[in-house]
Amino acid sequence: MPIRSRENLIGAWAFLAGIVLAVLAGIFAQRAISPLIIIILALLGVFVGYFVSEKNVQTFLIASVSLVITSFAGIQGLVLSAALVGIDVSRILSSILGSLLVLFVPTTIVVALKTVFSIAKS
């Protein structure tokens, strides 16, 4: 049985907890997501960003920037279509995408800053 690396185990569990919390917060938010949940998601994002290893930085940054851009565009499109059609079905999807943004933006910033400092050191 091969020995599995545990270097990213804490970050992986924090990332999974953040995704689950973001989706649940988005589904169950009545009007707006609780400020406490937003703070927890942002702190989890910073925590996850700290634990991204250097060998995965490029892949992580490409994926997270893509997710942030897509989520933002999705929120704008859903709000616009809901306003034009007059239905409120998109509220849940907008809340989920917004809570994912709260998780991923700090993560992406931390990983990008780590990368810049790593490049500046060498």
| Tens place of pLDDT per residue across the chain (122 aa) | 444 556 678 888 888 999 999 999 988 887 788 899 999 999 999 999 998 888 888 998 999 989 888 888 877 777 666 656 655 557 778 888 889 999 999 999 999 999 999 888 87
Distance, in Å, from the CA atom of 82 to the CA atom of 74, rounded to the nearest integer, reads: 12
Q: What pLDDT, on a 0 to 100 scale, did the predictor assign at position 62?
A: 93
Name every residue whose Cβ is closer than 8 Å to that of residue 3 and which is 6 or more positions away in sequence. Answer: none
Q: Quick one: pLDDT at residue 88?
A: 59
Buried b (16+ CB within 10 A) or exposed e, 27-52: eebeeebeeebbebbbebbebbbebb
Neighbours of 78 (CB within 10 A): 18
For residues 59 and 82, is the Cβ–Cβ distance under 8 A? Answer: no
Q: What crossing angle do the helices spanning 9-28 and 35-50 adopt, rounded to 10°?
A: 160
Among 28, 77, 71, smallest CA distance to 37 is for 28
